Structure 1
């Protein structure tokens, strides 16, 4: 461990645009509490949730300033006196559900850490928890995915979309319809997508209906707003439409009040009579709440995902790696949907 008592960190000074982000050297707690461990961070996953947080769509308590970042990987360099499941030198992934991990050194609860497989790199570990757990719970717990069903995956080239495609194809004879810009179609087909549709086409939903006239069994949605309204209409009887994110509210560097209103308006148009007449399920998902309220289920899912990783059934794709000082460029790549797979930050 460095002799320095400061830790390079990505700090949000106030909610808003990129000008609210600063990279600073901050003092850090070198001695963990009894149930904590000190982590030397090697890689951090960048997520749309980080953009929501910066723009104030997701409010952190207490408010800014605070260190950004919801997931990371690194080395355990010190353990608290009551920690029994971890030791110094362990390679771990960390998912806390609250910001604070885009930093060089950080003390976290030992329960937020998981020892990673020997073959898993730090970049892969930082790309793993949020994307793969989100896809896993949506497909298997809420979606009840079974063989010979059809899954609609928007943003199939993104982190969650990439993970959801691999997990869906782990079930026999599942058909995946993936949305992405045309330049990404060849890559997502290589990941298992059976039918590719241009996500930039204003009539993308009509293309889905042509590809699957009977309707899809599971449809994920990352955007909310009008897209989620259209997504619901693509689901067959006994099908499930699952809302994961609200990317449609993002416009440039700051929140768009008009987009927020439109997103709320269309997402609120879920009519109970339509659900009854179409025997359809409309659901939502929030990973942090599952982690907090159902810790045993969260842990079981992570263990299963590690088994699939060891069997080479699933594998994160790293789109690009950036230093903390390049956080703005990295965020732009994510927000402008240029990535294929996960965007990674490193100290």
Structure 2
């Protein structure tokens, strides 16, 4: 058994270019944890924000980015309470550390992969599913028949949210940035899609055609978010899980970030009382401290019986920088994944 692992490590947050592939010794396995030989890693915008120092949960000093993975259980801690066994194919979550060929995690943060799923599909499931499920159920309180607007509907979280809404009998309206993404979603059976233009507010009103909008799932921010909130019907909920408009290049452009921050949406609670609309926002990283909620959400996501996530872009483990740039560009469709060796 190998006594070392490869990992993408940055000496400190501040620039994506600080990320380097290193080989490092494996630490002794904690008694209450399991070791997973990683076969695929899912990429998230949180990775970019952490690497550039714009994520509030970014670790101090040197760290390995990455929040989700899939692989094979290679070792069990002496006191690990689990029905998982060595050799099981699993997907899981980790509070940073995913960009590595081996990870040690609490067993309750892993689940067996469904039959027939590839490792890439397994790595694409946990974070985007937890995000979409929590936003739509616990916060959005979406009910069958309700209209829900999903921004970036062809992305990892957006596509999973569209599928979840369809599964529970709600009516998803997706927004995308290009005609090619609209065509992609149409091929999956989604037909209420808006290609965002200069006057998104007018586009949205035309699409609604007088129907009440009950919820919005937004990870973009800015003017798009403002116009979406204005379109909500009474009792409508805006659920915010990210701010893609702040996505930096190799390192933050602090002048641009300051300008966007000053222009950010602001909501007056007195106006919200009068219009009977609400705004909720969350950061998924804190779920790692709420095990009961984590379990319920992960089981709820898996229990919907959705098809395997769409993996739109696969890169070799050694191509982390190319994969990050693909995600950062805003042109990706579905999930961006790193594959370790001959994964399948």
Normalised by the size of structure 2, how large is the TM-score? 0.92
Cα displacement string for residues 121-146 of structure 1 (whole angstroms, at most 9, x for unaligned residues): 21111001110111111111111111
| CA 1:241–1:263: 2 relative to 1, 3 Å | farther
The residue that corresponds to 2:299 in the other structure is 303
Number of residue pairs matched by the alignment: 338
| Match 1:208 to one of 189, 204, 208 | 204
State the secondary structure of the residue aligned to 2:167.
coil
The residue that corresponds to 1:323 in the other structure is 316
Structure 1 residue 15 corresponds to structure 2 residue 41: no
State the secondary structure of the residue aligned to 1:34.
coil
State the secondary structure of the residue aligned to 1:251.
coil
The residue that corresponds to 1:346 in the other structure is 339
The residue that corresponds to 2:179 in the other structure is 182
| Match 1:197 to one of 191, 194, 197 | 194
After TM superposition, the structure 1 = structure 2 runs for residues 246-325 of structure 1, keeping only pairs within 5 Å, are 246-267=243-264, 269-293=266-290, 295-309=291-305, 313-325=306-318
RMSD: 1.9
Q: Distance in 1 between matches of 2:58 and 2:177?
A: 35
Normalised by the size of structure 1, how large is the TM-score? 0.91
Structure 1 residue ranges without an equivalent (≥5): none
> Contact 2:42/2:66 (CA < 8 Å) preserved in 1?
yes
Structure 1 residue 335 corresponds to structure 2 residue 328: yes
Aligned-pair distance for 1:323? Answer: 1.7
| CA 1:227–1:256: 2 relative to 1, 3 Å | farther
> Contact 1:250/1:256 (CA < 8 Å) preserved in 2?
no
Aligned-pair distance for 1:316? Answer: 0.3
State the secondary structure of the residue aligned to 1:332.
helix
| Match 1:148 to one of 131, 134, 145 | 145
State the secondary structure of the residue aligned to 1:66.
coil
After TM superposition, the structure 1 = structure 2 runs for residues 97-136 of structure 1, keeping only pairs within 5 Å, are 98-136=95-133
The residue that corresponds to 2:30 in the other structure is 33
| Match 1:138 to one of 130, 135, 138 | 135
State the secondary structure of the residue aligned to 1:339.
coil
Aligned-pair distance for 1:119? Answer: 2.6
The residue that corresponds to 1:241 in the other structure is 238
> Contact 2:50/2:58 (CA < 8 Å) preserved in 1?
no
Aligned-pair distance for 1:105? Answer: 1.4
Structure 1 residue 6 corresponds to structure 2 residue 4: yes
Q: Distance in 2 between matches of 1:342 and 1:173?
A: 23
Higher mean alpha-carbon deviation, 335-344 vs 167-176, is at 167-176
| Match 1:89 to one of 69, 77, 87 | 87
Higher mean alpha-carbon deviation, 242-251 vs 123-132, is at 242-251
| CA 1:83–1:104: 2 relative to 1, 3 Å | same
Higher mean alpha-carbon deviation, 64-73 vs 161-170, is at 64-73
